[in-house]
Amino acid sequence: MALVATGLTRSFGRHTAVAHADVTLRPGRITGLVGPNGAGKTTLLLILAGLLAPDAGSVEVDGGPIAASDLRARVGWMPDVFGTWESLSTTEILTTFARLHGASAADARRRAHDLLQLVHLGEFADKPAHELSRGQKQRLGFARALVNRPSILLLDEPASGMDPRSRIDLRDQVRELAADGCAILVSSHILTELSEMVDDVVMMTAGRTFVPEHRSGHLWRIRLAGQSVADAEATTFPDDDSAAEYLAGLIATGVRVSEFTRVTNELEDTYLALDAERT
């Protein structure tokens, strides 16, 4: 299911949080949403989830306009902090959401059970939510987002608070959902992690979105034996082959290379080149 949002604008009082933002999400693809604090990412996600009305602009699904209530039925939404009912058990929470999405009591219980297994919270099935750690709550939040088998999944800082194993699980599960045809948007500040997960990137600054140009080349650090990191040379190569060829040439001429490293990933390079204002 493809989602195309055009010209989305939303103000809070005199402050424009989202200004003429455009986003396209395609089935089977994971899109990263990247931008500094206060750029408008959460506001944009809330609009795409059908939870906040835009002042202007449109959200279309599969080529046609969609009512906010229909959007909510199709979207899986994981907020950056999963505010939940602390005294209910994890099963009760997921069952309640499944029932709200129209599942029968039996289906809701089955769905809750399966999702708790998926996010490795099976042993907490009967425990109240307040017994969960922050990372475990995030995992419950991810399970909650999947309750209605969404065809569009919106994740706001999903990995925050998760331990390394849970982050890897999340990445694999998100990739599997995309492989099953889900259209996915992930907002994150952890660019190294995001770059391993996403197919496309939308950047956001001061409420505006843009798609970064594909940068030709990566920066590499070449440090010779005995040299400090500060004195090392930084060189751009268009691709891995050119970098490998250059390194082979250096070694062939007897230069003693002690480090030859890609300095940052492409997403980080693009983000830092943004010169974005934090608000």
Ligand X SMILES: Nc1ncnc2c1ncn2[C@@H]1O[C@H](COP(=O)(O)OP(=O)(O)OP(=O)(O)O)[C@@H](O)[C@H]1O
**Which positions touch ligand X (CB under 6 A)?**
12, 15, 17, 35, 37-43, 279
CA distances from residue 133 to 35, 70, 246, 260 in whole angstroms, order as listed: 27, 33, 49, 40
Contact status, residue 59 vs residue 44, Cβ threshold 8 Å = no
- 262 class by beta-carbon count within 10 Å (0-12 exposed, 13-18 middle, 19+ buried): middle
What are the residues facing 48 on neighbouring strands? Answer: none
* Token pair listed for 250: 């250096």
- Residue whose CB is less far from ligand X, 6 or 11: 11
Angle formed by the axes of helices 134-145 and 164-179, nearest 10° = 10
For ligand X, the closer CB: 45 or 143: 45
Nearer to ligand X among residue 40 and residue 50 (C-beta): 40
Closest CB to ligand X among residues 68, 250: 68
Q: Measured from the CB of residue 92, what is the shortest distance to ligand X in angstroms?
A: 29
Q: From the CB of 241, what's the least distance to ligand X, in Å?
A: 37
CA distance 102 to 109: 12
- 258 closest CA partner among 226, 218, 235, 215: 226
CB of 183 to ligand X, least distance (A): 20
Q: State in angstroms the smallest separation of the CB of 278 from ligand X.
A: 9
Q: Could you tell me the smallest distance in angstroms from the CB atom of residue 65 to ligand X?
A: 24
**What does the alpha-carbon distance between residue 142 and residue 148 come to, in Å, rounded to a whole number?**
12
The distance of closest approach from Cβ of residue 234 to ligand X in the complex, given in angstroms and rounded to an integer, is: 29
Three-state DSSP class for residue 215: coil
Instruction: Output 35 or 141, the one with its CB closest to ligand X.
Output: 35
- Is 45 or 177 the residue whose CB approaches ligand X more closely? 45
SS3 at position 50: coil
Query: What distance in Å separates the CA atoms of residue 265 and residue 243, rounded to the nearest whole number?
Result: 15
Nearer to ligand X, 15 or 256 (CB): 15
DSSP 22-37: EEEE-TT-EEEEE--T
Question: Least separation, in Å, of the C-beta of 206 and ligand X?
Answer: 9
